[in-house]
Amino acid sequence: MTDATQHSVEIKNLDLSFGAVQVLKNLELNIHEGEFLVLLGSSGCGKSTLLNCIAGLLDVTGGQIWIKGKNVTWAEPSDRGIGMVFQSYALYPQMTVEGNMSFGLKNAKIPKDEIRQRVDRAAEVLQIEPLLKRKPSALSGGQRQRVAIGRALVRDVDVFLFDEPLSNLDAKLRADLRVELKQLHHRLENTMIYVTHDQVEAMTLADRIAIMKDGLIQQLAAPDEIYSRPANLYVADFIGSPSMNLIKGQVADGRFTTDGLSVPLGGYEFSREAKGEAWFGIRPEHIVLGDAAASADTSLTITAEVVDPLGSDTLVLTTLAGTRFWIRLDGQTKIKAGDSLTIGINAADASLFDTGDEERL
Amino acid sequence: MADATHFEGAHGPKPRRTFSRRNIFLYGTLIMVALYYLLPLYVMLMTSLKGMPEIRVGNIFAPPVEITFEPWVKAWAEACTGLNCDGLSRGFWNSVRITVPSVIVSIAIASVNGYALANWRFKGADVFFTILIFGAFIPYQVMLYPIVILLREMGLYGTLWGLVLVHSVFGMPILTLLFRNYFTSLPEELFKAARVDGAGFWGIYFRIMLPMSLPIFVVAMILQVTGIWNDFLFGVVYTKPEYYPMTVQLNNIVNSVQGVKEYNVNMAATILTGLVPLTIYFVSGRLFVRGIAAGAVKG
């Protein structure tokens, strides 16, 4: 067995099926003490299901769940030492904010004085003291989610579970609350497991990201690792907006070649031996221009077909080797559709994937 | 106001004529239909306020020349049904004693059933639910006699409690369906949050679900009160004359073959019997609509 003091949550061989549909398949996941882990994936990948299993809201079909060195596979949600925040806030509409926050503590038969103290402390941390006597219906979306976080906070738990907590908020509020969540994590140093489909949330909040697809974890790594060294084609395509440019071609004699593109792979760090057909991936923001293009591993001239000025950046769409190819330029660049542009590609920034099993080369 | 802006052609709210063809047709139809349905009530009310000589004249639509409340008093306290001559009052109290416990028992059980079926998925829940719903489609006549035997064996035949039991059981399928659908429409995350907060089966039912369910309880109450109050078949089959509900007594008064037909007394008795469901509708009609709608739209 692994050292229980190091891992806050351990998931061993977890299986979950609804009838004939297998949602989670033999899933292994160890989460460190105080870690902020983000479960990221498109809808239907099993990320929320996994969170519900950890919370004890779904009975698992096979495997074990350990929290703080205790086997909680059969334990009630309230006995697992977890607090949970839901996407729809799930505040009890007939209770005041104070009632919402103290409901769990009353169920746990905690003395009144202590309930008071804990609610006041959580309210102070989240700056919701003036709202304590209000009903949820009299709160804005952001305030409601704060109360929902407060309800998890007062329980003094080891692990916080967040199920897409910011998805119902508008863009500005989402960004604000995201920063607050990060600060909260720094202050509390609890383990947090956070489910989202928003890659910006994942990249900014996470210590480590677990990218899930079809009930399997595709890659579990720090955000920069996931971004710069995606483990497979799915991860490469999922992270980044616009996503990585992927071109099919041949790897031979240390070069990647396809129609109109030939890149020497001297600067590329292979994870395994490569020969024959492969995907060549390069992020739009890793394409260099000007002097850098001249000294790049390979340089070529393209014609801008579509130009999307976003203010901070300008996106240029072109066609390369028969596929759509995005280039991200500085927002100050003056360019319009039809202009030619010399670009450079460095093999060190690229990712290569096998066309068969789609794993990183 | 007029000098600030000068528009050419159409501007502002579109003018609408009160007596347009559309309005005349629409409101005309509605008024006709409303009158058609109100007419019987009008005739009943007028007849019940007339004396017998005036009724024999035959103008059933004419208002009473001389208003008398004698028929109402007679219907309530003096009309003869079988051996007793104490009017509908006995039946009224019997009906109250049948309706109140039946409504409470059936709603209490059905709401817990619905809650368990909606939120605590247990093995065989779907089979159980299907059987329960199937129960709603079995004709009463099929079960009439078997229930007589069942009640007799239980020693409840002919008693008020036997009838209360029958009403509670027969209300179960439709009420359970009603409550299950309502509880299913409540956000599931609320239930999950309560579980994480350590509330158990009854804790969640009483502290989370019940306070959110007033509209559906009102709907269930209206359905049950009117259904049980208006019941005739079970009342006449499963009770003895001394426990007959109001509907059965009404029938006995109206259909008695001895003596003169006292139309005014019959009318008064009928209105008296219908007064309870009518009051319930008027008092809680708005909540009723809200409850029905609440079940349909996801919160």
Between CA A202 and CA B77 the distance in angstroms is: 78
Residues A148 and A185 in one domain: yes
Say yes or no: A216 and A275 in one domain: no
The ipTM assigned to this model is: 0.85
pLDDT on residue B297: 40
Token representation of residue A173: 């509020």
Q: Which residues of A touch B198 (CB under 8 A)?
A: 76-79, 104, 107-108
Interacting residues of A67 by C-beta distance below 8 A, sequence separation 6+:
A8, A9, A10, A54, A80, A81, A82, A158, A159
Same domain, A218 and A311: no
Residue A313: inside a domain, yes or no? yes
Residue window 34-63, chain A: list those with CB within 8 Å of chain B: 52, 55-57
The answer to whether residue A105 sits within a structural domain is yes
CATH number at residue A206: 3.40.50.300
Asked whether residue A359 is assigned to any structural domain, the reply reads no
The whole-number pLDDT of residue B294 equals: 53
Residue A361 lies in a domain: no
- Confidence class for position A2, pLDDT limits 50, 70, 90: very low
Confirm or reject contact between A102 and chain B (CB < 8 A): no
Query: Rg of chain A's alpha carbons, rounded to an integer?
Result: 24
Instruction: Kindly identify which residue of chain B lies nearest to residue A148, measuring between CA atoms.
Output: B193
Residue B84 belongs to a domain: no
Which of A90, A103, A151 has the CB atom closest to B192's CB atom? A90
Interface of B with A (CB under 8 A): 187, 189-190, 192-199, 203, 207-208, 211-212
How many CB atoms are located within 10 Å of the residue B286 CB? Answer: 10
Is the CB of A92 less than 8 angstroms away from the CB of B208? yes
Q: What is the mean pLDDT of residues B155-160?
A: 89
Q: Which residue has the higher pLDDT, B255 or A106?
A: A106
Same domain, B231 and B274: yes
The reply to whether A202 falls in a domain is yes
pLDDT, tens digit, 9 for 90 and up, residues A242-287: 899 999 998 888 889 888 888 888 888 888 887 788 999 999 999 9
% of chain A surpassing 70 pLDDT? 98
Banded pLDDT at B291 (limits 50, 70, 90): low
Asked whether residue B107 is assigned to any structural domain, the reply reads yes
Q: Establish if B77 belongs to a structural domain.
A: no
Kindly state whether residues A153 and A295 are assigned to the same domain. no
How many structural domains does chain B have? 2
Domain, as residue range, for A16: 7-233
- The string of DSSP codes covering A244-290 is PEEEEEEEETTEEEETTEEEE-TT---SS---EEEEEEE-GGG-EEH
Indicate whether A113 pLDDT > 90: yes
Neighbours of A31 (CB within 10 A): 23
Range of the domain at B140: 89-296
Q: Write down the pLDDT at residue B191.
A: 94
Q: How far apart are CA A252 and CA A255, in angstroms?
A: 5
Q: Are residues B55 and B128 in the same domain?
A: no
Helix (H, G, I), strand (E, B) or coil at A32: strand
A85 with A165, same domain: the answer is yes
- Choice among A90-99, B2-11, B250-259 with the minimum mean pLDDT: B2-11
Closest CA to A230 of A203, A205, A254: A203
pLDDT value at residue B106: 96
**Within a domain: B146:** yes
Residues A253, A229, single domain; the answer is no
pTM of the prediction? 0.82
CB pairs under 8 A between A and B: 60
Sign of the CA dihedral running A246, A239, A33, A48: negative
Q: How many CB atoms neighbour CB A234 within 10 A?
A: 19
Same domain? B61 vs B96: no
Q: What is the mean pLDDT of residues A184-208?
A: 92
pLDDT value for B7: 80
- Give mean pLDDT, residues A305-313: 90
Domain-terminating residue out of A171, A198, A233: A233
User: Residue A339 and residue A354: Cα distance in Å, rounded?
Assistant: 34
Contact B195 A104 (CB under 8 A): no
Pair (B124, B247) in one structural domain:
yes
Q: Is A86–B203 a contact, with Cβ atoms under 8 angstroms apart?
A: no
Q: Which of A77, A78, A88 sits opposite B189 (nearest CB)?
A: A88
B106 and B28 assigned to the same domain: no
| Residues A158/A55, Cβ–Cβ less than 8 Å | no
CATH number at residue B114: 1.10.3720.10
Domain count of the fold of chain A: 2
Is residue A334 one of the residues assigned to a domain?
yes
B56 and B175 assigned to the same domain: no
Same domain membership, residue B290 and residue B226: yes
Any chain B CB within 8 A of the CB of A103?
Answer: yes
Contact B195 A57 (CB under 8 A): yes
Q: Do B47 and B186 sit in the same domain of this protein?
A: no
For residue B86, what pLDDT is reported? 80
Q: Is A92 on the interface with B (CB under 8 A)?
A: yes
Quick check: A103 and B197 CB within 8 A?
yes
Same domain, A147 and A228: yes
For chain B, report the end-to-end CA distance as a whole number of angstroms. 45
Q: Give the residue from A233, A264, A284 where a domain finishes.
A: A233
Do A188 and A69 share a domain, yes or no?
yes
Q: Where is average pLDDT lowest: A58-72, A156-170, B172-186, B255-269?
A: B255-269
Q: B275 and B187, same structural domain?
A: yes
Residues of A in contact with B189 (CB under 8 A): 86-88, 90, 163
Q: What is the pLDDT of residue B298?
A: 36
Q: Is residue B78 part of a domain?
A: no
Q: Which CATH number goes with the domain that contains A269?
A: 2.40.50.140
**In a domain? residue A1:** no
Q: Are both A205 and A308 inside the same structural domain?
A: no
Q: Does A83 touch chain B (CB under 8 A)?
A: yes
pLDDT value for A4: 44
Whether B11 maps to a domain, the answer reads no
Query: Of A199, A233, A267, which residue constitutes the final position of a domain?
Result: A233
* CA dist A169 → A142, B64, B103 (Å): 7, 68, 44
Same domain (yes/no): B27, B107: no
Q: Are residues A305 and A193 in the same domain?
A: no
B206 with B262, same domain: the answer is yes
The predicted structure's pLDDT at residue B295: 46
Confidence of residue B256 (pLDDT cuts 50, 70, 90): confident
pLDDT digits (tens, 9 = 90+) for A116-151: 999 999 999 888 999 999 999 889 888 999 999 999
- Give the one of A88, A94, A104 whose C-beta lies nearest to B197's C-beta: A104
- Report yes or no on B62 lying in a domain: yes
Which of B192, B203, B211 has its CB closest to that of A107? Answer: B203
Confidence of residue B290 (pLDDT cuts 50, 70, 90): low
Same domain, B270 and B211: yes
B144 falls within a domain: yes
Choose the closest CB to B199 out of A52, A87, A107: A107
Name the helix (H) or strand (E) containing A6.
none
Q: Which of residues 110-149 of A touch B (CB under 8 A)?
A: none
Do β-strands A159-163 and A82-85 pair in parallel, antiparallel, or remain unpaired? parallel
Residue A108 touches chain B, beta carbons under 8 Å: yes
Give the C-alpha separation, B60 to B57, whole Å. 9
